[in-house]
Amino acid sequence: MESRTAPPGISLGPMRLATWNVNSIGARLPRLLEWLEDSQPDVLCLQETKITDDAFPTLPISALGYEIESNGDGRWNGVAILSRVGFDDVTRGLPNAPGFPDVGSPQESRAIGATCAGLRVWSVYVPNGREVASEHYDYKLRWLTALNATVAAELPGHARFVVTGDFNIAPTDADVWDPAVFAGSTHVTEPERSAYRSLLGLGLVDLEARPLKGDHPFTYWDYRAGSFHKGMGMRIDLVLASRSVSDSVTDAYVDREARKGKGPSDHAPVVVDLTD
What's residue 103's pLDDT? 64
Q: In what order do the strands lie in the sheet with 88-92?
A: 88-92, 111-116, 119-125, 161-166, 237-242, 204-206
Mean pLDDT per block of 10 residues along the chain (276 residues) reads 40 85 97 98 98 98 98 93 98 82 81 98 97 95 96 97 98 97 96 98 98 93 95 98 98 97 96 94
Q: What DSSP string runs through 8-35?
A: TT---S-EEEEEEE-S-HHHHHHHHHHH
What's residue 102's pLDDT? 73
Evaluate whether 111 touches 122 at the Cβ level (below 8 Å): yes
Rounded-to-integer distance, Cα 58 and Cα 65, Å: 11
Q: CA geometry: angle at 116 spanning 99 and 164, to 5°?
A: 55
User: How long, in residues, is the chain?
Assistant: 276
Among 124, 136, 92, smallest CA distance to 199 is for 124
What's residue 9's pLDDT? 42
Four-way CATH pick for 15-274: 3.60.10.10, 3.50.50.60, 3.40.50.2000, 3.40.50.170: 3.60.10.10
**If DSSP codes are grouped into helix, strand and coil, which group holds residue 78?**
coil
Q: Which amino acid is at 119?
A: L
Rounded-to-integer distance, Cα 39 and Cα 258, Å: 11
Look at the pTM and tell me if it is higher than 0.75.
Answer: yes
H or E, element range at 230: helix 227-230
Three-class DSSP labels, 104-162: CCCCCCCEEEEEECCEEEEEEECCCCCCCCCHHHHHHHHHHHHHHHHHHHHHHHCCCEE
What's residue 271's pLDDT? 98
Helices (H) and strands (E) in the chain, counts: 7, 15
H or E, element range at 192: helix 190-201
What's residue 98's pLDDT? 67
